[in-house]
Chains A and B, each alone.
Chain A
Amino acid sequence: MKNNIYDKYLVEEKMPTMWCPGCGNGIVLQSIIRAIDEMDLDPEKIVFVSGIGCSSRAVNYLKFDCMHTNHGRAIAFATGIKMANPELKVIVLTGDGDCASIGGNHLIHACRRNIDLTVICMNNSNYGMTGGQYSPTTPLNSFTKTSVYGSYEPPFDLCDLTKSAGATYVARCATYLPVQMKDIIKKALNHHGLSFVDCASDCPSLYGRLNRLGDAGEMMLRWKDRLVSVTQSQKMSEEELKDKVIWGEFVNKSDRMEYTDIYKENIRRAKEAAHE
């Protein structure tokens, strides 16, 4: 029977994926295609754009129009696609290094513009593809290939970052909560404006091993006690929230105009000026 979501949206010949056993990327990819399927979106009008990293490799398994770009540049390419054809749903698949380090500038400017892209970050707290060096989301004092004495780089909270930069939909989820992740991605895809979803994920082969966090199963279970919903978190003290990861929606608003709409207004003004 060839009507399950895998046959529908994934390229069978490219399986198995290049991801290590226990990697969280597969759960994120599955949440995305489930969301698309449940929303019954027209696959011809969806474009995936990614950068470079294990996470960005996700596009190499997808049966959609896909653009696998350069490290950090996915949002720049995606901006061009969206502005050239605002009817398309443009989804950016990226990693924490890809979007917050080398591509950080494009990320904040896309948020500032509030352009209708959905940016999904598979955040595994390290640079997976290059073998496990620290990234801008690596927790302080944790071990990576380039922080063998413990990381001394203060990390970003990507939801705080995108919220302050102007994104109009910001949420976090975790691979531990795949159903909730799918629902959040659905909301992000439905949102008209820049939506950013931080998908807390695991890299058992590198970050997990270097920090002695156990195998993939044990790492997954660690999320159980650490995840706190936005609502729960509001009743907790700063002390209680230490070492917790807050998931849920941080921003969901429509008080700012979306950028392709703003640009249509610019065209209208230009034509009006030409008539005067």
Chain B
Amino acid sequence: MTMGSYRIMTGNEACARAAIASGMRFFAGYPITPATEIAELCSELLPKEDGVYMQMEDELASIGAIIGASATGKKAMTATSGPGFSLMQENLGWAYINEIPLVIVDVMRKGPSGGSATLPAQADIMQTKWGTHGDFRALVLTPNSVEEIYTETVRAFNLAEKFRQPVILLYDAVLAHMSEKIYVPDKDEIEVIDRAKPASKEGYNPFRYSDSSVQPLGHFGEGYNIHMSGLTHDETGFPVSNQDTTGLEILIHHLFDKIDDHYDDEIKKYEAYLCDDADVLVVSIGITSRSAKSAVKKARAMGIKAGLFRPITMWPFPHKDLSRYDIHTKAIVTAEMNNGQLNQVVIEDIDRNQKLVMKNLYDGNQIRDIDILNSIIEANKYEK
């Protein structure tokens, strides 16, 4: 077994390199700060691997093209920021309903609208869950370091291939542009999952709704006679009639069940740092979670029993696991670069004897550990 190497690189570089190491061979995108470097690097590296880089006319086309490419068997990806991610929503819904493996990177900037292109934020947490219309289960991963961007990009492709659906990699402009020393694994150290192939072409249906397992994806252009439609369809992929109300529901059930039934064993991921005996739990993701960890350490040094709960699979949110820890706590602190999104998730997990302290910042600055420490001290004063 060969060994990988230690390298210094930015988050965006780690993302592009990890994607290619995962077998990604089709990138279509439209330049946008702070995600552009991913496209730039893909345009340089992909042709050398016989892969495709396409700069599309807009983000609607970018996601459309990667859906088409994925349906013919390529691992495909796009990268964007808030404005572009907003434009992708309708086609993203098409990928959910047709169970197309994709990876979409959203490097958040401060919004809404154009917002502040170069300032970091964490304000797309809810959009990644509910951005497109209708019911579906989003899979969203939130790394907090350059090295974790590398490993989570690999995991994003593996989840996409395994569960036949889009996976969103969500991080902020700080992580995108900061340089860190990371371990770049060698090819055979990386576990790469490829989508299952159908057993036979005879009588093949592109969908299976009878249980929560995922139907292997036959590829376009290989003789499967595949039908796919954005309209509500049955297992054959042909639209179902509006009179068939069970037919209309069964598809939605499947989109939820295929994720929920495998969540605990194969999808859920979080970091619980000093959570076991914590009186005050900080919940945070991405770059902010690093300030939070530093704040927790400082609080401990002051004798406050603080802990950090950090979802790495942001959606579906690990509610059960947070509840297991927070049952003993008197307060929860949420720290995030927006005007309150994580806090709305966490509120479901606390009872009325517990206090929720919110630390929000959305002026384009990062949240400092000292600010989170102050919130911890304030939360610790609360008597259950």
B-binding residues in A (CB < 8 A)? 11, 14, 44-45, 47, 49, 52, 59-60, 63-70, 73, 76-85, 87-88, 105-106, 109, 263, 266-267, 269-271, 274
SS class, residues of chain B in contact with chain A: mixed
CA of A66 to CA of B227, assembled, Å: 5
Q: Which residue of A lies closest to B231 (CB)?
A: A68
A-binding residues in B (CB < 8 A)? 26, 28, 44, 47-48, 50, 52, 54, 56-58, 60-62, 64-74, 76, 90-91, 94, 220-231, 238-239
Q: Is B48 within 8 A of A271, CB to CB?
A: yes
**Additional A-B contact list (18), CB under 8 Å, known A80-B68, A81-B72:** A44-B222, A45-B221, A47-B220, A64-B225, A70-B91, A73-B90, A73-B91, A76-B62, A76-B91, A81-B71, A83-B65, A83-B68, A85-B220, A88-B72, A88-B220, A263-B52, A270-B48, A271-B48
CA of A87 to CA of B100, assembled, Å: 21
Q: Is B226 within 8 A of A84, CB to CB?
A: no
Q: Which residue of B lies closest to A274 (CB)?
A: B48
Q: Which residue of A lies closest to B67 (CB)?
A: A77
CA of A167 to CA of B91, assembled, Å: 26
Q: Is B223 within 8 A of A44, CB to CB?
A: yes
Rounded to whole Å, the gap between the CB of A60 and the closest CB of chain B is 6
Q: Which residue of B lies closest to A81 (CB)?
A: B68
Contacts of B48 in A (CB 8 A): 267, 270-271, 274
Contacts of A14 in B (CB 8 A): 238
CA of A106 to CA of B227, assembled, Å: 23
CA of A77 to CA of B28, assembled, Å: 11
CA of A82 to CA of B69, assembled, Å: 8
Report if A80-B66 is in contact (Cβ < 8 Å); known contacts: A47-B221, A105-B57, A106-B57: yes
Q: Is B220 within 8 A of A60, CB to CB?
A: no
CA of A43 to CA of B68, assembled, Å: 18
Q: Is A65 within 8 A of B221, CB to CB?
A: yes
Query: A270 contacts which of B47, B65, B221, B239 (Cβ < 8 Å)?
Result: B47
Q: Is B72 within 8 A of A85, CB to CB?
A: yes
CA of A77 to CA of B61, assembled, Å: 7
Of the candidates A49, A84, A85, the one having the most CB atoms from chain B within 10 angstroms of its own CB is A84
CA of A178 to CA of B68, assembled, Å: 31
CA of A67 to CA of B95, assembled, Å: 12
Rounded to whole Å, the gap between the CB of A56 and the closest CB of chain B is 10
Contacts of A84 in B (CB 8 A): 26, 52, 68-69, 72-74, 76
Report if A77-B225 is in contact (Cβ < 8 Å); known contacts: A65-B220, A67-B220, A84-B69: no
Contacts of A87 in B (CB 8 A): 221
Query: B26 contacts which of A60, A83, A105, A106 (Cβ < 8 Å)?
Result: A83
Contacts of A82 in B (CB 8 A): 68
CA of A63 to CA of B26, assembled, Å: 28
Report if A76-B47 is in contact (Cβ < 8 Å); known contacts: A70-B90, A81-B69, A84-B72: no
The 7 closest A-B pairs by CB, nearest first: A80-B68, A76-B64, A80-B65, A270-B47, A68-B229, A84-B69, A81-B68
Query: B220 contacts which of A52, A68, A81, A266 (Cβ < 8 Å)?
Result: A81
